[in-house]
Amino acid sequence: MQIDKTNISEQNQQLLKKHQQRFDFINNETDDVEAVLQKLIEFQVAIPSWALGTGGTRFARFSGGGEPRNLEEKIEDIGLLHKLNQSSGAISLHIPWDIPRNTANIKALAAQHGLVFDAMNSNTFQDQSGQELSYKFGSMQHTDKAVRQQAIEHNIEVIRHGEALGSKSLTVWLSDGSCFPGQLNFRKAFQNTLDSLKQVYAALPQDWKMFVEYKAFEPNFYSTTVGDWGQSFLYASKLGEKAYTLVDLGHHLPNANIEQIVSLLLMEGKLGGFHFNDSKYGDDDLTVGSVKPYQLFLIFNELVEGMDARAMNHAGDLGWMIDASHNVKDPLEDLLQSVEAIMISYAQALIVDRKELSDAQQRNDVVAAQEVLQKAYRTDVRAIVAEARLRSGGVLNPLQVFRNLKVREHLIKERGTKTVATGL
Ligand code: PSV
Ligand code: MN
């Protein structure tokens, strides 16, 4: 399925007049919209290769039809998203789910779709067929050195795949931990994990980063060896300057103040990457902004404030990625909604009156501080986000165009109804 320039301009034509009215209104109401537009145009959110199929629960998987059958088709799917929104210009691969059969061809295909390779993800949370040693009792924390060595070698192999593709970072998420009290010596598990991570770190190319992703629970339910941002920060600090903490929005205990975590990690120069999703209970992996959009805005508010305080480049200095799964929605529609939610929250954070907020904080004027934040949050910035898309060659309303052009129907025709994409 191809979406060409004619499709895009025909679709935009129908909405242009209305859009112009909306954009003119917000442009008059808001300071320096041009600067906001520039930042939105630059901002790209990577799409994970494992989120293009229907999947996600431990109990069942209901394939929606037309799922990508291989890495080439996954790249094509992300290419379609990027054509529509011009904000999904990167793909994040999970190995071994997505080992490229022919690296040069995969690289060329991605480039053809305007995509670059974001962080590479290793997998020592499952046993693969033919794998010599099991990860049942952990990987990098394992009591048996040989298991740890196998996990180290897998991560180094992932780095090598990434180097060939032009990726610049490795995300390590370990499900290591314990299910019952007494099962683990916490200190030994930490030290084994640190030693293993050190060996992977030593294999990083000079210009690479390592992201240490934490998660409070699941699949282990008593302890997790990289269980929270403090532990991740400890590993990252001990590893060195190329190691950072990665925040996945779904990986906290209920009601954790993620915006405060983000602020302090940025202060320490140790926030490296981000996995966006939303949740009500645990690691629900729901569409970004679908359950707690105000929290998303508050997180973006700290991201913008913290990045500006360190003169960081919003688009390039952190790894931005969606990490969601899709049980009942079309995965591509869901991803379009997620990217839109991210762009909206980012735009709202960009229009926060920083001077007024800081003055209110200094005076302890709690009411004024809340007003500043909520003024931005309650501003309808959708026309600014749409204008950014228009200027980058995308469509005004990605979801509507996806449906108008019958993208899913085309994919089903091309690939069939019974295809199942790799992932969880
Ligand atoms: C774990 O829950 C996680 O968030 C990690 O990022 C994994 O790589 C990903 O989900 C895929 O299951
Ligand atoms: Mn994640």
Gap from CA of 411 to ligand 2 centroid (Å): 27
Report how far residue 125's alpha carbon sits from residue 351's, in angstroms, rounded to the nearest whole number: 41
pLDDT of residue 275: 98
Query: Would the CB of 285 count as within 6 Å of ligand 1?
Result: no
Ligand positioned closest to the Cα atom of 322: 2
Ligand positioned closest to the Cα atom of 172: 1
Question: Could you tell me which residues come within 8 angstroms of residue 146 by beta carbon, excluding any fewer than 6 positions away?
Answer: 133
**H or E element, residue 281:** none
Gap from CA of 257 to ligand 2 centroid (Å): 18
Report how far residue 290's alpha carbon sits from residue 421's, in angstroms, rounded to the nearest whole number: 24
Report how far residue 90's alpha carbon sits from residue 321's, in angstroms, rounded to the nearest whole number: 9
Examine the pLDDT at 243 and tell me if it is beyond 70.
yes
Ligand positioned closest to the Cα atom of 218: 1
Q: Whose CA is nearest to atom 12 of ligand 1?
A: 424
Extended strands (E) in 74-160: 90-94, 116-121
Q: Whose CA is nearest to atom 7 of ligand 1?
A: 173
Residue with tokens 């990252």: 236
354-357: long-range pairs with CB below 8 Å, 24+? 354/305, 354/308
What residues form DSSP beta bridges with 92? 48
Considering only CA atoms, which of 239, 232, 294, 289 is closest in space to residue 264?
232
35-64 pLDDT per residue, tens: 999 999 999 999 999 999 987 677 788 888
pLDDT of residue 420: 77
305-343 pLDDT per residue, tens: 999 999 999 999 999 999 999 889 999 999 999 999 999
Gap from CA of 80 to ligand 1 centroid (Å): 24
pLDDT of residue 421: 75
